[in-house]
Structure 1
Amino acid sequence: MGENFRLVILCSEDRSDLFFANKLAERFDPVGIFVESQRADPSAEPALQKYLRLAKAPHQIPWKIFNRIAEQTWRKNALYNRSEYKTDFGEAGRRILEADKQNVIYTTGASRINAPEYIEVLREMRPDLVVVCGASILRDEFLSVPRFGVLNLHGGLSQRYRGLFTTEWAVYNAEPEYVGGTVHFVTSGIDDGQIVYQGRPLIEANDTPNTLYEKVVHLGVEMMGAAIVDIRDDRLAAVELQQPGALYTNSMFTPHVLKETWRQYERGVIRDYCENKHKLDLPVIRGLINEFAAPSNLPKTSGRTELN
């Protein structure tokens, strides 16, 4: 295949996903990049309908206002919103770099990537492979277009955590040993396709939920790059996921869960793991599928603030 290999990248507008797209575009010269908007159409529920819904329960209005103000105040002062704790993917996480030299398609509306007009654009690209990070659930019409299928970077170990915010859930559940990433083929299910690579980042005592996520993304880009080369060079060896892990949906990650995740960090759950990692890692390592050897040049957290 070699030089004629046609790659398409699909990502969301999130910083980590743009970083994913930019880093792979630097290396593989894709024939197209889709940037998917996942913001709901503001016209989906007209303002009048919202007012009518609230008018049916006027006693709820003061409580809703109080909750919103309280939540905004907490978020403003929360640890994860302080500059020293925020995720940082640099300029590559802000926009598609050199967009004028790339074939970039920006979709509009949540889940519109499955719309016929975008499927037709994808067909015209004649992709051998599509690689994905942060996209909506893809329908069969999309999945059937690329010759070798669609690969996804999932930010968790699929035999333990599927769905969204899986790094945070691992911290919330006091098992940071399960922080990791999976490159897998996309199916009609959620994070349950054949696994190409799995990897775990180096976890340090001064890591936070956000730095762990950064590390997973950096590792995931390396894993996806290796997977693309394997498919291009016809040496791929994917393995079935025999027992999918628990599924964590967007609605499950409530403000309460976010708060508790960072409280777990403040209680020292990551530091405690580091003190016992040799014992805690054993069952995780045994269960890894197609383990990826992380390169030594991945980012570390030296210089980050550590809570006492």
Structure 2
Amino acid sequence: MGLTNRDGNMTEMKRAGLVVVVTAGGRNPQILINALARRFSEVVVLLEPAESKSVFVRRRARKLGWPVALGQLATMVASKFGKRFTEGRAREILETYGVSDVPNADVRTVPIPSINTPEALDRLTKFSPDVVFLVSCRMLAAATLSAISCPVINFHAGINPRYRGLMGGYWARVNRDEENFGATVHLVDAGVDTGDILYQTRMTPGKGDTMHTYPLLQTAASTGIAIRAVEDALAGTLRPMTVAGPSRQWYHPPVWTWIWNGLSRGIW
């Protein structure tokens, strides 16, 4: 259903409902924010600061050891530096899927220190959202999650449960599992990307795609499933699914793994 504007063209009527997006920001989350803002009447963003690299390294070192943690940090630095050389492919992806990464001044953005702080939870509660949508933010603490009364949905750039965690597209390629290169929208529970699945979409990376562009491709090709999941939440028609199969949490590859796969197999 739509409305006719003064030029005689049909415009889609926005769906009523308050959607609160929690994110640390960035190009990929902005694509989803823009897509949601085009479809729903009210979208508010709670914007966290990015986690410091020192916190990241210490947490990874506790879990995986210092050599691996520092190797992963080196890959992250290389990825950030390398993105400047893949901007042409990035623009091509945006044009192919008709999405925008331009900040939307019409979307209200509220800075928060972390979604897991009392201040942020108080703000969220006062908004009384109909659905909370997570993308590239801190993992919700159990107390935070239990205090949210509406559905909480997460966008994940990977096919769950095979590729939980980080760099799902990269690891699908490394594992010769390209049929599981894609993205998942799922309900949030206490685990890392372990909540019941709502929708998944798969796509094929191009020859020019690398670790620098995989997440962008996964996001740009998946705005439709994000919108459908939020629509279901607003309508009270969520249909969560439990998918059987291998389940593993992945991380950034250490820099030596990334270089080896790049030189030996052309997977960068």
Q: TM-score range, shorter-chain basis? A: 0.7 to 0.9
Distance 1:219 1:191, change over 3 A: same
Report the Cα distance in structure 1 between the residues aligned to 2:85 and 2:226, rounded to whole angstroms: 31
Report the Cα distance in structure 2 between the residues aligned to 1:102 and 1:154, rounded to whole angstroms: 22
Report the Cα distance in structure 1 between the residues aligned to 2:48 and 2:264, rounded to whole angstroms: 33
- Give the structure 2 partner of residue 82 of structure 1: 85
Distance 1:198 1:254, change over 3 A: same
Q: Which amino acid aligns with 2:138?
A: S
Report the Cα distance in structure 1 between the residues aligned to 2:42 and 2:257, rounded to whole angstroms: 38
Distance 1:145 1:224, change over 3 A: farther
Consecutive unaligned residues of structure 2, counting only runs of 5 or more, are: 1-13, 56-69
- From 173, 176, 181, the equivalent of 2:175 is 173
- Give the structure 1 partner of residue 217 of structure 2: 215
Q: Which amino acid aligns with 2:101?
A: G
Instruction: Note if contact 1:6-1:30 (Cα within 8 Å) is conserved in structure 2.
Output: yes
Cα deviation 1:139-179 (Å, max 9, x = unaligned): 13332344332100111111211101111222233332221
SS of corresponding position for 1:256: helix
1:97 pairs with 2:100: no
Matched residue count: 232
- Give the structure 1 partner of residue 255 of structure 2: 255
1:229 pairs with 2:231: yes
* Moved >6 Å (runs of 4+): none
- TM superposition shift of 1:131: 0.7
SS of corresponding position for 2:222: helix
Distance 1:176 1:261, change over 3 A: farther
- TM superposition shift of 1:264: 5.7
Q: Give the CA RMSD over aligned residues.
A: 3.4
Identity %: 23
- Give the structure 2 partner of residue 14 of structure 1: 26
Q: Which moved more, 1:78-87 or 1:146-155?
A: 78-87
Report the Cα distance in structure 2 between the residues aligned to 1:154 and 1:264, rounded to whole angstroms: 28
SS of corresponding position for 1:156: coil
Larger Rg: 1
Distance 1:75 1:183, change over 3 A: closer
Cα deviation 1:170-223 (Å, max 9, x = unaligned): 223333222111110011101111110011014445544444432210232211
Consecutive unaligned residues of structure 1, counting only runs of 5 or more, are: 45-66, 271-308
Report the Cα distance in structure 2 between the residues aligned to 1:129 and 1:222, rounded to whole angstroms: 17
- From 37, 49, 54, the equivalent of 1:25 is 37
SS of corresponding position for 2:221: helix
Cα deviation 1:273-296 (Å, max 9, x = unaligned): xxxxxxxxxxxxxxxxxxxxxxxx
- Give the structure 2 partner of residue 278 of structure 1: none
